[in-house]
Amino acid sequence: MPSSRASAASVALGGAIAAIAFGASGGTQLGRTTIVELAIIVVAGLALGVAVLRRDRPLHGGAAVALFAVLAIVTALSMSWSIAPDLTLQEAGRTLAYLAVFATAVALGGLLVVASGTVLAGLLIAGVAVCGWALATRLWPGALAEEVLGARLGAPFDYWNALGSTAALTMPAALWLGSRRDVHPLTTALAYPALGALMLTLLLTQSRGALAAAIVAALLWLALVPLRLRSLVVLGLPALGVAPIAGWALSKSAFTESFQPLSAREAVAGDFRLMVLALCVGLLIAGLTVAVISSRRQPSLQVRRRVGLAVAVVACALPLAGLASVTVSDRGLAGSVSDRFDEVTNETAAPPRGSARLGSVASSRGEYWRQARRVFDERPLVGQGANSFALARLPYREGNTRVRHAHSYLMQTLADLGLAGGAVALALLAAWLAAAARATAFFPRRRPSPAWDGERAGLVALSLCAVAYGLQSAIDWTWFVPGPTVAALAAAGYVAGQGPLRGPGDPPARTTGPTAGRLGGLLPAAHPGRARLVGAAAVMVTALLCAWTVWQPERAARANDRSFELLQENRLPEALREAERAREIDPYSTEPLYRQAAVLSAERRFTAAYRTMERAVMEHPRDPESWLALARFELDTLDLPERALDTLGGALRVDPRSPRAAALVDWARAALGPPPSS
């Protein structure tokens, strides 16, 4: 693919991923997330249709796509037994959108067999754009983040772990760019400030899981790719520049304490701006200097081998030194390991603030994982339904912390989908790892392995992008945030679709279609056969059906909002019709039932309203909101405190520590009056 066309494709890909990240934000707002999912599915349907018309190579990555489709089917089927079918329906839509991304990336990976650089550049553009915006909210807090209350960097996702995941999965792309030898020195130099921005963002999120994932990905790059000398320079210079800035920032309350006033954040923004500007300019100059020197003088093979040996020695010596220091400490090796284990599993231990947090293993994850295990024990085979953990955990919580997810992909999947979903997810992981090993030539082969050219290094970098995301998701639930997830799936899918990497003894790739090479292989054949036309049409129709399914929860929510507006205008018959229409569109949600009850109450049809509230309880018995809504209706509208107490007993069974239920119990008892004296 010509360089100008490849650059345009990279910008388009980066812009699309960045638009998904900013458009969907944290993935918790139904309206924004639905629009993004619809766009993904429609565009993916068109791309897959073209791929079906154009494909003239063997299909690679099909097993991974098929298993991903099975995971989507299991997710959708779990609505039939889910304790939160409305949330499961939304999760099914999200999974369909992710399947569309992965399948499209696999298909395009099979068509564009030497375009890993284009994909990596697109991921790098998107990652730097997202992290750059996050840093900008602290550079100009008055203009961009006036109402931000959290201390940890999290924009545009409002979730620091998702931003940390974005930075971590983008770092292999920056490493790839900085270690290249076949591009203009200015292009290579841009990797240095880009990596500096990614590192600084990662540290300011204080996401320990993302930091660990980034470190593992960097170590794997150094271990696998024989560009260690250049890679060490690309890693070392930004790290040296970022360390003092991150240390300074994490010593300020504006970066470590929540609920800081705007004046406190503005007070440090000026110094922070100067530091970040100096970092970017300094790293760009350093990158240019290194690129120019490298282009004029290459170190000898002996020097490179010595550096590689020194790096290997240091890499082995550091953990050994750490192990030795722990062994000779007062607690000894066993005591130190025991203390660390207790710190990880302690559900009440709070991590320190600031830079000390990055070295601590204390967190609340032990509590969430324990709850997930208890939820799994209820239905070990099929779970409680996709995305139902927020409700399923309530009987097992010991505090009032509101948590949506189990902070671990494995634990969340086991709680939501049981062993069935966990088995499919593990099979999908195994299929992708096998495909990635073939694509990067680490799979056992009889012929000699291919040389380490730019394409092979690019495929390894793309694989590490997906690995970094997967490692971070193993201890955090980032799946629900479309920005980093789509980026990781695009990288993983492209690698899976490549097929075996050709070596010196392999035959050339076969192309049977008449349009090989036209626009990089993206145009359909001039005269596609009937079977391909039918297949392409089937793919597009399926995409439209999936998009229609994804649209239904938002469509129902809009009808429900319209019903509320009509109720406010006292147009009761129309309000009731809109609420009933919302119920027909999405029969899994309780919101239309609540709206119908409100309209019926306004019409003074209290019996019908009460039956409607009871229906919400019967359909969602594990949702405390349905019990609380019924109890409030019995107290406020029907003036039946004794019956409300019985209803609140049901609320406390599904959520024993609900402060709202406890408050309503006090209200009901006060309405009953003091008990009669004996």
Q: Kindly write down the DSSP assignment for every residue of 346-397, as one continuous string.
A: -SS--PPSGGGGGG----SHHHHHHHHHHHHHHSTTT-S-TT-HHHHTGGG-
Asked if residue 653 lies in contact with residue 670, where contact means CB atoms within 8 angstroms, the answer is no
pLDDT along the chain (678 residues), means of 10: 80 96 93 96 93 78 95 96 95 96 93 85 97 96 85 90 96 94 88 97 94 94 88 94 95 89 92 96 95 76 68 66 58 53 55 68 81 95 95 89 87 95 96 94 71 88 97 90 97 93 57 41 58 89 94 95 95 96 94 95 94 95 95 93 94 93 92 67
Distances (CA, A) of 163 to 139, 199, 234, 444: 17, 12, 22, 36
Asked if residue 387 lies in contact with residue 416, where contact means CB atoms within 8 angstroms, the answer is yes
Please give the Cα distance from 109 to 490 (Å, whole number): 10
Let me know whether 481 and 604 are in one domain. Answer: no
CA 507 to chain centre: 39
What is the DSSP code (8-state) at residue 112? -
Residue 588 tokens, joined: 């899994």
Q: Which residues are CB-neighbours of 129 under 8 A, at least 6 positions away?
A: 14, 18
Residue 443 lies in a domain: yes
Let me know whether 257 and 195 are in one domain. Answer: yes
Asked if residue 137 lies in contact with residue 146, where contact means CB atoms within 8 angstroms, the answer is no
pLDDT in the model for residue 211:
94
The owner of tokens 């050219």 is 453
**Burial call 134-163: b when 16+ CB within 10 Å, e when fewer:** bbbbbbebeeebeebeebbbbbbbbbbbbb
Let me know whether 583 and 661 are in one domain. Answer: yes
Please give the Cα distance from 486 to 20 (Å, whole number): 8
Residue 91 lies in a domain: yes
Residue 435 tokens, joined: 């495909």
Residue 367 lies in a domain: yes
Residue 326 lies in a domain: no
Please give the Cα distance from 434 to 60 (Å, whole number): 11
Pick from 235, 167, 172, 171: which is nearest to 202 by CA? 167
Residue 620 lies in a domain: yes
Let me know whether 455 and 582 are in one domain. Answer: no
Residue 309 lies in a domain: no
Let me know whether 582 and 479 are in one domain. Answer: no
CATH number at residue 631: 1.25.40.10
Let me know whether 143 and 275 are in one domain. Answer: yes
Distances (CA, A) of 20 to 386, 407, 536, 554, 639: 23, 22, 25, 18, 49
pLDDT in the model for residue 374:
95
Pick from 435, 432, 434, 428: which is nearest to 410 by CA? 428
Please give the Cα distance from 202 to 154 (Å, whole number): 10
pLDDT in the model for residue 519:
43
Let me know whether 606 and 495 are in one domain. Answer: no
Q: Which domain holds residue 251?
A: 3-298+353-502+513-521
Alpha helices per DSSP H over 157-261: 160-178, 185-189, 191-205, 208-224, 228-249, 253-256
Residue 452 lies in a domain: yes
Let me know whether 476 and 580 are in one domain. Answer: no
Asked if residue 38 lies in contact with residue 550, where contact means CB atoms within 8 angstroms, the answer is yes
Let me know whether 463 and 566 are in one domain. Answer: no
Let me know whether 476 and 611 are in one domain. Answer: no
Alpha helices per DSSP H over 400-529: 409-439, 454-474, 482-496
Phi-psi region of 183 (alpha: psi -120 to 50; beta: other; left: phi over 0): beta
Q: How far apart are the first and last CA of the chain?
A: 92
Let me know whether 498 and 558 are in one domain. Answer: no
* Number of domains, the chain: 2
pLDDT in the model for residue 510:
43
Let me know whether 464 and 575 are in one domain. Answer: no
| Radius of gyration from C-alpha coordinates of the chain | 28
Does the predicted model carry a pTM greater than 0.85?
A: yes
Residue 329 lies in a domain: no
Helix axes 482-496, 3-24, angle to 10 degrees: 140
pLDDT in the model for residue 348:
58
What is the DSSP code (8-state) at residue 146? T
Burial class (CB in 10 A: 0-12, 13-18, 19+), 438: buried
